Structure 1
Amino acid sequence: MSESNAVIFGCSGPVLSAEEAAFFKDTRPWGFILFGRNIESFDQVRALIDSLRHSVGRADAPVLIDQEGGRVQRFKPPMVPQYPSGADLGALYSKNPDAGLRAAWLLSRLHAFDLLPLGITVNCLPVLDVPSPGGHEVIGSRAYGMTPEIVAAMGKAACDGLKAGGMLPVIKHIPGHGRAGADTHFELPRVEASRAELAERDFAPFKALAGEAMAMTAHVVFADIDAASPATTSKTVIDDVIRSEIGFDGLLMSDDVSMNALSGDCGQRAGAIFAAGCDVTLHCNGGRAEMEAVAAVTPELSGEALRRANAVSAAFMTPDDSDEVALRMEFEGLMAAS
């Protein structure tokens, strides 16, 4: 029997309130996610994570963050360096593929040096989206390149670097966000490309990395596959594309349920996410009323979702014995040469 419910929650600030702790004790989320509002100092973050895990009585509860580099970086200077974007790494790859792949691995390994000692165990990268002309800049510089081959190769290096550092990656945004013409935080994009075009370009990096333990969905309508629902709430996309064509059998989490690409209130959105076949829903903003609505429709982890969650727990590796100072110097040298 699972100890957890199929949800990842955020919290409202840098310190867990007694009310939040009681809520999490009652609702038993599988994991937590941190944002900039939760970060003031290293000691404070350690204490917050300890409080989150204590609230659910699980010292190994996954704690996630989006620490990509570029404009999506929750820990910022002076706590950690301002790291380059995926596009910056891709520019190095375009000049020297071996150097680009090494830099992608190194950046992820450095993220692990920054994050794992705080108790953060999952980093929501790599972005495997392949931008297309007309795509919204919400992906933009977060992408490693403009071809699926480059994106897949760089994404694999990024995954491997995190795992070498004792963390796990989340490939995103499956089955592909690069053609989306709108920011899903605010509206629902509709992609008209044919399924054949999508398979060749958009799905390909995810297929190449389908063996990873976790993936995050795209709040994007693919009209040639399901004209009515975004991938996150489309049983057709999840069953026929993500699970079958791409072959991803890891833990599938939604992108943030509070993003306005989805319709209905947060409870209705979460219900649709589970009905479509996502294993876990993600709610990020820490708003209590929304979390209560999500919790009310969230099932206990069971069946295939529990199997996949257990596979995540089993996938963590002991960090390698890399020398942090040496790797930082190597990374800085590679990026300076680019």
Structure 2
Amino acid sequence: MILGCAGARLSDEERAFFRAEQPWGFILFGRNVETMEQIRALTAELRAAVGRNAPVLIDQEGGTVRRLRPPLVRDYPPASVIGRLYASSPDEAKEAAYACGRLIAADLLSVGVDVDCAPVLDMPPEPDTGFIANRAFGSDPEQVRVLAQAMADGLKAGGVLPVIKHMPGHGRGLADSHIGLPVVKEPLALLAERDFRPFRELTGIRMAMTCHVLFEAVDAENPASASAKVVEQVMRGSIGFDGLIISDDISMNALAGDIGERARAVAAAGIDIILHCNGKMDEMRAVADAAPALAGVSLIRSDRALDGRPAADDANLAALSRRLDDILQARS
């Protein structure tokens, strides 16, 4: 399991709980962010609580979904801004996506965060629509693949592991899965040809996050995160992803049941790691009670992912930041 915490520093209760339950990793949100120094201290506290170099994740996409914001770090555009560059200048769009990934990685690594839940590979049926909206690089599979690959490569070059999301694709799931269950009715052949394609074709990726979307063509009863059919037939089958699969946040209300029931359903579906984000102690205890020990093929996938944690290169970050600004300003 991956768990959150309630505030800017760990409480004694959280510290004791994490020490006893040994979550695989942690995730930070806006409630955990005050200053760069404070975030650095918090990530050190989290790792000290479990006594190992546990992965610390964050959602830092750019645009609306980013936990570190100015003035702590520079401004980063939403994926849709880079996507719009692609039609007139694919090379510059790719360069901008890489630069965002590399610069974001530097921000994150400086405060002890080594995993970014990005890039987004979801494709809305029309640009800037639905729940994903401007978080998407576009609605063309090749464009999304190219730009997501560039951002992922930039993150890795900066020493941060990417988590692609939301597999097998939240784009056609237009409803907000924090509130309710999005339903996709399109036939499987169309989804495989378009929506699943960027996930299938991205290379060098060791971790992916699911979506809480119901795909009627595969499983008319269970959303992807809780569907053994979607996991086996689509994520592991059609897409062919053999890395570590992390659920989306199980406190999102697209999932049915209480927190313990959600955690058990996700584990039963074959998801490797259960993600719970809100930091509420009673819910985290229920997740800990429900989450199985990491073992077997899931442990192998975890070891493979963490063994692949990259070292940061020696890129000139100031020059890269200026180049990103030049591209964005020239195309604005």
Q: Structure 1-normalised TM-score?
A: 0.96
Are residue 176 (structure 1) and residue 169 (structure 2) matched? yes
Residue number among 196, 201, 212 corresponding to 1:203 in the alignment: 196
8 Å contact 1:233–1:275 — kept in the other structure?
A: yes
8 Å contact 1:133–1:179 — kept in the other structure?
A: no
Listed as ranges, the matches of 1:72-221 within 5 Å are 72-133=65-126, 137-209=130-202, 211-221=204-214
Deviates more, 1:142-151 or 1:126-135: 126-135
Structure 1: distance between partners of 2:9 and 2:204: 36
Tell me which residue corresponds to 2:296. Answer: 303
Are residue 239 (structure 1) and residue 248 (structure 2) matched? no
Cα separation, partners in 2 of 1:134 and 1:106, compared to 1, 3 Å: closer
Are residue 33 (structure 1) and residue 17 (structure 2) matched? no
How big is the shift at 1:134? 10
How big is the shift at 1:300? 1.4
Tell me which residue corresponds to 2:36. Answer: 42
Tell me which residue corresponds to 1:17. Answer: 11
Cα separation, partners in 2 of 1:81 and 1:193, compared to 1, 3 Å: same
8 Å contact 1:210–1:247 — kept in the other structure?
A: no
Tell me which residue corresponds to 2:279. Answer: 286
8 Å contact 2:99–2:154 — kept in the other structure?
A: yes
> Residues 97-129 of structure 1: CA distance to partner in whole angstroms, max 9, x if unpaired?
000000000000000111101110000001000
How big is the shift at 1:181? 2.4
Tell me which residue corresponds to 1:264. Answer: 257
8 Å contact 1:109–1:161 — kept in the other structure?
A: yes
Q: Structure 2-normalised TM-score?
A: 0.98
Structure 2: distance between partners of 1:75 and 1:133: 28
How big is the shift at 1:29? 0.3
Structure 2: distance between partners of 1:264 and 1:195: 27
Tell me which residue corresponds to 1:329. Answer: 322
Structure 2: distance between partners of 1:133 and 1:329: 31
Q: In structure 1, what residue type is equivalent to 2:105? A: A
Listed as ranges, the matches of 1:311-326 within 5 Å are 311-326=304-319
Q: In structure 2, what residue type is equivalent to 1:25? A: R
Q: Specify every segment of 5 or more residues in structure 1 that has no aligned partner in the other structure, as ranges.
A: 1-6
Structure 2: distance between partners of 1:55 and 1:76: 27
8 Å contact 2:149–2:203 — kept in the other structure?
A: no
Structure 2: distance between partners of 1:21 and 1:257: 22
> Residues 43-89 of structure 1: CA distance to partner in whole angstroms, max 9, x if unpaired?
1001111110000000x200000001100011011101221000001
8 Å contact 2:127–2:134 — kept in the other structure?
A: no
Q: In structure 2, what residue type is equivalent to 1:96? A: S
Structure 2: distance between partners of 1:197 and 1:211: 25
Cα separation, partners in 2 of 1:112 and 1:135, compared to 1, 3 Å: closer
Match of 1:202, SS?
coil
Structure 1: distance between partners of 2:266 and 2:10: 27
How big is the shift at 1:91? 1.1
8 Å contact 2:249–2:275 — kept in the other structure?
A: yes
8 Å contact 2:97–2:150 — kept in the other structure?
A: yes
Are residue 57 (structure 1) and residue 51 (structure 2) matched? yes
8 Å contact 2:109–2:159 — kept in the other structure?
A: yes
Structure 1: distance between partners of 2:29 and 2:88: 34
Q: In structure 2, what residue type is equivalent to 1:238? A: V
Q: In structure 1, what residue type is equivalent to 2:82? A: L
Cα separation, partners in 2 of 1:133 and 1:108, compared to 1, 3 Å: closer
How big is the shift at 1:138? 2.0
8 Å contact 2:28–2:56 — kept in the other structure?
A: yes
Q: In structure 1, what residue type is equivalent to 2:6? A: S
Q: In structure 2, what residue type is equivalent to 1:143? A: A
Match of 1:304, SS?
helix
Match of 2:230, SS?
helix
Q: In structure 1, what residue type is equivalent to 2:130? A: E
